[in-house]
Structure 1
Amino acid sequence: MTIIYAAPEVPVPVGGVRVLARHVELLVEAGHDAVLWCPTPGYRFPFFDCAGPMLSGTEIEVSADDLLVLPEVGIKPGAEPAPGARKVIFNQNHFHMFATWDSDAEYPGWDPAPSVWAVSGESAAVLSRLVPSLPVELVPNSVDTALFRPGDRREWTVAVMPRKRPQEYALLKRLLGADSRVSVRELTGATEHEVARVLGETSVFVALGDHESFGLPVAEALASGCHVVGYPAGGGAELFTAPGTFEVPDARPLLLVEEIVRVLGAPDERVRAASRAWIEERHTREVTREALLKAVDVALARPGSAARATHPMAAMMEFAAKRGVGARA
């Protein structure tokens, strides 16, 4: 029995791909046979290290005992990737659920019907309402707290990931740049290790998520001891209950800048420690592993048969193009 995760080949930092790879690593550590499936032989992601086994090919054979895990962004009506196979839709963002689905037909219309996995309480609740006939399991995201941790020094700087709100960041960059007290560290195209180093040193992380189901950079910033100022953006609401988070009304750049400057000028080391402890209680590898193994057991109890599976890369590329992410052909 092999658990096969279909992954898109993206050349730019995308947190959801790292989550797929981390699931494979956790399952292998737990004794399962699990692989990350990419179409291109020898493909490696340029922005993080993938320690788990890889599988390549546009099409593969899936046995009756296998479990195929598919991202929500590669699902199109009338294009089931592996008819008859046992499948899971790993939905990392409920806002993306219908990005490549242009039909009023029942979703996803597969036989046998798949299980669904979610990454946050908000996302699980939305998905349970959207697909009440399918089992929805919550598998919370994990943070590598050995990598994302406070550094040896803490600088009076502000870290920003502008990718999801480039137009708003253009305003923020000017507004923050007009204040001599603020130094901005822009995290664009950075590797996982580079991001961890900056978050471990900086004082405030600006949450510029957009229509999130969770918001992994916010969790990593909290684990690194950063104060977080910005937008919950939907599913990130639970993260903004953590110590050291400061919510600002969506798309209010002046209010956001004012709050950044206020928090930057009032650091609290006790709160930084509490932020990290909050993450360590809820989003460690151990917490994720326990939930993932339970979700796998539920999925494996459902029916499945041998099938030929086609990698949903084309639909993933269609989604990436719409989002301006860019994917490797």
Structure 2
Amino acid sequence: MLNANGFSAYVLHHKNGFRCDWFVNETRIAYLKPELYRRIYNKAGKILHPEAVRKIPLSQGKQSFIDENDILVMPEFYGPDIVHFGQGIKKIILNQNGFMTFQGYSFVKDRLITPYTDKDTLGALVNSEHCADYLKYAFPETQLYRFYLSIDPALFSYQEKKKKQICFSQVKNSADAMQIINILKFRNALADFELVPFVNISEHQVAELMKESLIFISLGNREGFGLPPAEAMACGCITIGYHGWGGEEFFKSEHSFPINDGDIIHFADTIEKVIQAYNNDNSFFLKERKQAADFISKVYSLENEKQALISAWKTIIH
């Protein structure tokens, strides 16, 4: 997206030859040379000026080094160590989960090393209202740029006709899922609904599963945004469960069923009541399902993502 709009950008990976393969992409990639970086600066570190720019060696990029003319975007989970990597190179923190902001920090009162207040940091990109609020409170002086994750309408599209099927991610909060499903099983509340837990399947397979499933149960905990429930709503699923805080902005009671984190009984009871209502009248939730899908497609569109990112980067660079 950035390259298509006049910015020269690469995704950086540590492992040579690696490319994310769980979704389709043609992103330009460069690879870090961490061993070379360590060799250079372990040897030269003692004689370099404290303010010297520490260039980062690359392979397969447009250039051989990341230097002071570039901007390095780093994820929040690298923690305070971001400060020490590529000293003198301008940085943006990509914070997609406020709850991971302080990963790697300490309880030592006077240890105040953080990239958010470092002179090399130009600001932070955030993907949700919750994440923005979190960083505004923790680091009020840090410049924040809100962007929107888009839901691909070519994959996650509204489907009115559904199977009596409940889908959910098997890797999200499996302990709660086990309780909820078994309560429903032993209450004989699932009726003729099938359960389809999923794990390690492609983005395309997830989309197909959501499009055919009437109900999606959301089990995310402390999420930066919570993409699966948003994708499920886009597909017309009755979406029940946890918003994980990051998803609070779209997990609205007028078109979904938000549940307080850990409220197992309310969670199971809500699923049971939704099944009963649907079995009594299979058109009962049509309005809410369509309203949720329309909300997601309007707010989390590719155009909104593009405009927010282009605006952010124009401001950052200029």
Q: Please report the TM-score for the alignment, with normalisation by the length of structure 1.
A: 0.78
Q: Which amino acid counterpart does residue 65 of structure 1 have in structure 2? A: N
Please give the alpha-carbon distance, in whole angstroms, between the structure 2 residues aligned to 1:80 and 1:260: 49
Alignment of 1:86-235 (within 5 A): 86-102=90-106, 104-108=111-115, 110-151=118-159, 153-178=161-186, 179=188, 180-181=190-191, 182-235=193-246
Instruction: Describe the SS at the equivalent of 1:143.
Output: coil
Q: Does 1:295 align with 2:312?
A: yes
Hey, what's the Cα distance between the residues in 1 that align with 2:228 and 2:73? 23
Aligned residues: 276
Deviation at residue 69 of structure 1 after TM alignment:
0.8
Structure 2 letter corresponding to 1:83? Q
User: Is residue 249 from structure 1 mapped to residue 273 from structure 2 by the alignment?
Assistant: no
Q: Using the alignment, how far apart are the partners of 1:272 and 1:161 within structure 2?
A: 20
Superposition RMSD in Å? 2.0
Q: Which runs of 5+ in 2 are unaligned?
A: 34-56, 59-64, 279-283
For the pair shown, the structure with the greater C-alpha radius of gyration is: 2
Q: Is the 8 A contact 1:157 1:183 kept in 2?
A: yes
Q: CA deviation at 1:68?
A: 1.2
CA distance in 2, matches of 1:242, 1:224: 18
SS in 2 for 1:219: helix
Deviation at 1:271, TM superposition (A): 2.2
Q: How far apart, in 2, do the equivalents of 1:133 and 1:62 lie? A: 27
Q: What SS class does the counterpart of residue 119 from structure 2 fall into?
A: coil
Match among 251, 269, 277 for residue 240 of structure 1? 251
Residue 168 of structure 1: CA displacement? 1.3
CA contact (8 A) 2:80 2:114 kept: no
Residue segments in structure 1 that go unaligned for 5+ positions in a row:
1-25, 302-329
Q: Percent same amino acid among aligned pairs? A: 24
Q: Distance in 2 between matches of 1:300 and 1:99?
A: 28
The answer to whether the aligner puts 1:49 opposite 2:24 as a matched pair is yes
Residues 204, 227 of structure 1: 8 Å contact kept: yes
Instruction: Please state whether the residue corresponding to 1:160 is helix, strand or coil.
Output: strand
CA distance in 2, matches of 1:140, 1:276: 16
Indicate conservation of the 8 Å contact 1:88/1:115, yes or no.
yes
User: CA separation in 1, counterparts of 2:272 and 2:5?
Assistant: 45
Amino acid at match of 1:100: G
The 5-angstrom pairing of residues 263-282 of structure 1 reads: 263-264=274-275, 265-266=277-278, 267-282=284-299
| Aligned counterparts of 1:110 and 1:246: Cα–Cα separation in 2 | 41
- The amino acid of 1:239's aligned partner reads F
Amino acid at match of 2:244: A
Residue 13 (structure 1) aligns with: none
Equivalents in 2 of 1:176, 1:39: separation in Å?
45
Shift of 1:201: 0.7
Would you say the 8 A contact 2:23–2:202 is kept in 1?
A: yes
Structure 2 SS opposite 1:237: coil
Partner of 1:36: 11
Per-residue CA distance 1:206-230 (angstroms, 9 max, x = gap):
1101011211111111111111101
Alignment check: 8 A CA contact 2:125 2:146 kept = yes
- CA gap of 1:79–1:134, structure 2 versus 1, over 3 A, is closer
Query: Following the alignment from structure 2 to structure 1, what is the Cα–Cα distance between the partners of residues 179 and 253?
Result: 28
- Cα gap change, 1:153/1:42 in structure 2, threshold over 3 Å: closer, same or farther? farther
Distance apart, 1:294 and its partner CA: 1.3
* Residue of structure 2 in register with 1:15 after alignment: none
State the distance in 1 between where 2:199 and 2:237 align.
Answer: 18
Q: What do residues 219-261 of structure 1 show as CA deviations (whole Å, max 9, x unaligned)? A: 1111111111011221211111275311122212221111112
CA deviations on 1:275-311 (whole Å, 9 max, x unpaired) are 111012110111011111111122223xxxxxxxxxx
| Residue 300 of structure 2: aligned partner | 283
Does 162-171 or 282-291 show the bigger shift? 162-171
Which deviates more from structure 2 when the two are superposed, residues 291-300 or residues 178-187? 178-187
In structure 1, give the amino acid aligned to 2:114.
Y
- Stretch of structure 1 that moved more, 61-70 or 101-110: 101-110
* 1:48 Cα deviation from its structure 2 partner: 1.8
